[in-house]
A and B are shown apart, each in its own frame.
Chain A
Amino acid sequence: MRSMTALATIALAAALSLAGPAMAQQKGEILIGTQCDRTGPTQIVGIRICPAFQDYVNLVNSKGGVEGFKIVAPEIDNEYKVPPAVEAYERQKQQGAVSMSLYGTPQVQALNQKLEEDKIPSTSPGFGISASADGKRFPYLFPVAATYWSQGAAAVKFIKDKIGGDLKGKKIAYVFYDNPAGREPVPILEDLQKTEGYELRTFAVPPPGVEMGAQVLDITQRYRPDFIIDHLFGRSPSVAIKEYKRAGFPLTKVIGLVWASAEADIDAAGGWQVAEGYHTMQFAGAGDDFPVRQDIKAMYKAQGKEPPKEMDDTVIYNRGLLVAAVHIEAVRNAIKANGGQKPTPEQVKQGFESLHDFNLGGLVPPLKITGEDHEGGGWVQVFQAKGGKFVKETDWFRAYPEVVSNAVKKAE
């Protein structure tokens, strides 16, 4: 018996060692490395944003690729852990990736130095390091979407307009997930407090933020703010919405930053009738009315398949489309600049830095990425939950760019 198990173990080890990583790359293919989290703590985002990336790549390939090149985007799941992210990065680098779509704040921070050493451009939309908006200090990292600092500033601007143009003496509650990402907008809110004259109080929600009853009562009954800014992740946004509703606080006086603003959060809070009036901030357009989404549905129909259910969560899915589109446009710019030849990662970096004037039918903000500004302006839109869907409330806007750029400079 003992010898049988020993032999079985050896056989199993042999079977596993037969497998090896696929490394070869075909001619005429351009490789964009992508990482994802479909199984870890942020899977609520990963299971939608990553299929969107693949769908967009397939759509581009089905239309003949980029300037004659086929795009390949192998995806590796990092489970929101750092060691698998390092392994995935090294593997995709070896395969010859010209750019990387990273996933997760600690992973981006851990890989940033490698990106600079290997000179591979990569994106960190809506997470990562706010200071990486500064292209001089973080030459190979592109936040692309509005950073937490820009989001905080935009929230204040939105509240100011909503409340009637003057914030003097008004009370704002900032409710945040108690981790570095959650705390990041605080300096911006404090800076703006000096010029706008509002009263600010911060409420830290300890992770995982699934029990907020007492805290919400403290906010709504004792502090009684004129407006609440929610900066929560994972399950906690839906818990907050539910508790505000229960405490009788009008959701029209709440704005959720970008990770507290998906259809999945509304569903988890108990549906649209519960969340009616809730404001959400977006860095990609929400909803179904974009030509690119219709193209993807047509692509699936042509293959005789139903469009994937991931498309129903338009907020997160559309963000995946935005990230993929930015990568592909950067590659397109690089190929053009290279006279139709296959670009190097360094040329794709230049491609990112010459991105402007493409908007994917309104899904992408009027980005203008330059060598200095890797954020592309810090544009957001605000949507409101109304009658079963998100209704656009403002057009693309950016707020207090001088305050945000001061913070970027000070971060040195």
Chain B
Amino acid sequence: MFHRESGVFKTSYAADMGLYPLPIARWAVAAFAGLFIVIAPLALSEYYVSILNLILIACVGALGLNILVGYTGQISIGHGAFMSVGAYTAANLVTQLHAPFWITIPAGGVMAALIGAVVGIPSLRIKGIYLAIATLAAQLIIEWTINHVPAISGGVQASIQVPRPTVFGTPLRTQTQLYLFLMAFVVLAIVGTSNLMRSRVGRAFIAIRDQDIAAEIIGINIFHYKLWAFAISSFYAGVTGVLYTYYLGIANYEQFQLTVSIDYLAMIIIGGLGSILGSILGAIFVTLLPILTRWFLEDFGWLFFSQADLLNAIPNLRLIMFGGLIIFFLVVEPEGLNRLWRNIRNYFRVWPFSY
């Protein structure tokens, strides 16, 4: 991913499927892990770590959605609701049974996976924009149910306070502690996704995406694998919801509304469908860009506006710049940031002798 690739001569299928195409890839990944797991939390102040935390949570959700949309070719506008399923499952387990995080996180994921698989049933008959509407209905039904069933939502406010997760007897309070906690799950999500895609199941997903009739003819059980795609993807969404709940200390249905589903779709479309690096880049882009544009406008806005107008101009201009930059990046490279990164890398690989 982050290294030059000369001398790749693969002679066996095993080598072709290897996670690391070259020995240097192993070192590159190790260096990145060191940078983000050891150096970043030590070097950055709490404010920057809090931004990284928001990105980490988004990464898990974007990876999960990309399994469904990018790898299997199905679409879901219901992922915000699946997150809320995970969040409320965990919140109820914590408040009623005092369950620790290593039970609530898988439990939230499994519950979301079950509901996701049910929602995925229409995908067996309908595709594309029709499936989008079916999952939209799921989003609305789940939102309504949580909002109106006190047994799930814990009362009229529809929000349940959750204490911080405890690791080895210490509650995780600071942003840095939470960063390491969240990072563990992001690593699990990345490793899980990359291995899933090298497996029989992952290849079946890709076959369904590329041509589902052909996939059925060569013996892939479409019913089986489409539901698995929905279940696995919703599992990730449920885990995202639980992580978000632990990070904020509260499960609240207003944090998982339709706009959240759209935000996550935006992440994987901007980042690049069907790629792990793309999911991560998309999560970074959508979370960080509004913050960067705000810094930019705060630093340079006085050139164009008076101090009094600036407060009103910043939020509005920020929305315009955010939208404009999304269009810019998609026009420059419709296949997303992942492809853009590869183009840049290929350009510099032969630079300055590009012809």
> How many A-B Cβ pairs are below 8 Å?
125
SS class, residues of chain B in contact with chain A: helix
Q: Please tell me the number of chain A residues within 8 Å of chain B, measured between CB atoms.
A: 54
How big is chain B's contact interface, by range?
Answer: 35 or more
Of A5-13, A162-170, A253-261, the one with at least 4 CB within 8 A of chain B: A5-13
The answer to whether A230 has its CB under 8 Å from any CB of chain B is no
Give min CB distance, B227 to chain A, whole Å: 31
Which of B45, B51, B344 makes the CB contact (< 8 A) with A10? B344
Whether A90 and B296, one on each chain, are in contact in the complex, defined by CB atoms closer than 8 angstroms, is: no
How far apart sit A375 and B184, CA to CA, in the bound complex (Å)? 41
Tell me which of B47, B164, B295 contacts A90 (CB under 8 A).
B47
Does A186 sit within 8 A of B, measured CB to CB? yes
Residues of B within 8 A of A83 (CB): 54, 287
When chains A and B are docked, how far (Å) is the Cα of A21 from the Cα of B51?
Answer: 12
Asked if A38 and B344 sit within 8 Å, CB to CB, the answer is: no
Q: Which of B173, B250, B287 gathers the greatest number of chain A CB atoms within 10 Å? A: B250
Interface string of B177-218 (1 = CB under 8 A from A): 000000000000000000000000000000000000000000
Is B41 located at the chain interface by the 8 A CB criterion? no
By a CB distance below 8 angstroms, the chain A residues around B294 are: 76
Q: Is the CB of B147 within 8 A of A6?
A: no
Q: A16-B292, A180-B158 are in contact. Are A50 and B311 (CB under 8 A)?
A: yes
Tell me the bound Cα distance from A15 to B311 in angstroms. 22
User: How near does chain B come to A184, taking the closest CB pair, in angstroms?
Assistant: 6
What string of 1s and 0s marks CB contacts (under 8 Å) between B53-95 and chain A? 0100000000000000000000000000000000000000000
A105–B332 alpha-carbon span in the complex (Å): 39
* Cα A191 to Cα B264 with chains together (Å): 43
Q: Which of A2, A20, A50, A76 contacts B299 (CB 8 A)?
A: A20
Inter-subunit contact A20/B316 (CB<8 Å): no
Interface string of A87-98 (1 = CB under 8 A from B): 100110110000
A82 near B255: Cβ-Cβ < 8 Å: yes
Cβ of A106 and Cβ of B255 under 8 Å apart? yes
Chain A nearest CB: distance from B337 CB in Å?
10
A79 touches B (CB below 8 Å): yes
Q: Is B21 an interface residue (CB 8 A)?
A: no
Do residues A51 and B47 form an inter-chain contact, with CB atoms below 8 A? no
- In chain A, positions 171-227 with a C-beta closer than 8 Å to chain B are 178-180, 183-184, 186-187
Find the residue from A17, A50, A82 having the highest chain B CB count within 10 A.
Answer: A82
Contact A51 to B248, CB < 8 A, known contacts A16-B296, A77-B318, A183-B156: no
15 contacts between A and B (CB under 8 A): A2-B347, A3-B347, A5-B333, A8-B332, A17-B292, A36-B315, A87-B291, A90-B47, A91-B47, A109-B157, A109-B159, A109-B250, A113-B161, A180-B157, A184-B157
* 6 closest cross-chain pairs (CB), A and B: A113-B249, A77-B315, A106-B254, A19-B296, A90-B50, A19-B295
Write the residues of chain B forming the contact surface with A, with a CB cutoff of 8 angstroms: 45-47, 50-51, 54, 147, 156-159, 161, 164, 173, 175, 248-250, 252-255, 259, 287, 290-296, 298-300, 311-312, 314-316, 318-319, 325, 328-329, 332-333, 340, 343-344, 347, 354
